[in-house]
Amino acid sequence: MAPERSQESVTLTNGSLSSNGHYVEPLMKHPLPDIDRPVPPPTPITVHASGGGREVLEFVFPGDPHPYTYEVIEQSSRFLLERTKHRPRIGIICGSGLGGLAELLKDKDVFPYEEIPNFPASTVPGHAGRMVIGLLEDVPVICMQGRFHCYEGYALWKCAMPVRVMKLTGVTHIIVTNAAGGLNPAYNVGDIMLLKDHINMQGFAGDSPLKGRNDERFGPRFPAMNNSYDQRLRQLAKQVAKDIGIDQYIREGVYVMLGGPAYETVAELRLLRMLGVDAVGMSTVPEVMVARHCGMTVFAFSLITNECITDYDAQGEANHEEVIETANKRQNDLNLFVTRVVSSMASEMTSTSNGKNGSVDEN
């Protein structure tokens, strides 16, 4: 458990941090190391390093890009693996109103986020805030019942931190879901858009979940993001939708993540449409970027829960209640859809491991 935030006077002088006269060496220097001035007390994080069980105290200053270390992520994943007999290869992230899927898992182990070492807390209505590990149609999966957003005050790397935890539990394939506004005029509320690409708006401003020090144990310094969304899995999902009779609702398009929590203006939406955006949301992109950095195979879809307002004369307003209501109405279809997709993915993974044709490489 992290120690409580210090209330002592902390001063930075010529790059040295002192607390009540005692010198402290921070892991990362303050952005302005040559200025003598008081700074807010840093947030201490206790890191349990592997081997020997020693503890290293790291200090994080406000504004510092400081992803969790490999050892911290490993501690979280080990906590989960030691408390479940399942060894999932498929991870699922449930978006707003889509957490009911986790209730379908059999022989499951449930871990509230506040009990998992180093985990953030989910604060958004419609997000239960639990990690659930169990069997979905006899396939072991790990399911995030609620995610983290930058509008909650979290850095992008922290929003995506659970993906790395999944990676270290053995996950090689991930399904990312979200609720999104439909910007493409051909889309209707209740449609399911399979993501074929995304636009990383935060990246245009220099922010990224991969910002900061890179640990090669997770992935390369400069990962490629083209083909982030596996084409074979999209084809598989289309076939599943046809088999269960919901193919008329399936779309395929480009997703953009905006920071939120305010919904978009008419001018912003018109600009995004000019850029080729089909659906707008407030999540998913950081998780997908980290998943690809980790070498995971990604399938993602958006439930279109509202129509984006691009007319200045329109009277309606976007609201979160509409998002939850639409998700609840489509819950049964989505649960069946994801369940069948998971089963098909697992079959392909098994075929590939046996040396047959498939889109998945065993690690």
Q: Which residues are catalytic?
A: 96, 127, 149, 151-152, 179, 282-283, 306, 320
Number of helices followed by number of strands (H, E) in the chain: 9, 15
SS3 state at 32? coil
Instruction: Produce one character per residue of 182-220: b if its CB has 16 or more CB atoms within 10 Å, e if not.
Output: bbbeebebbbbbbbbbbbbbbbeeebbbbbeeeeeebbe
* Alpha-carbon distance values, 303 to 84, 156, 187, 215, 235 (Å): 31, 22, 11, 34, 18
Backbone dihedral angles phi then psi of residue 291, each to the nearest 5 degrees = -60, -45
Distance CA 31, CA 28 (A): 9
Tell me how far apart the terminal alpha carbons of the chain are, to the nearest angstrom: 33
Residue 266 CB burial class (10 angstroms; 0-12, 13-18, ≥19): middle
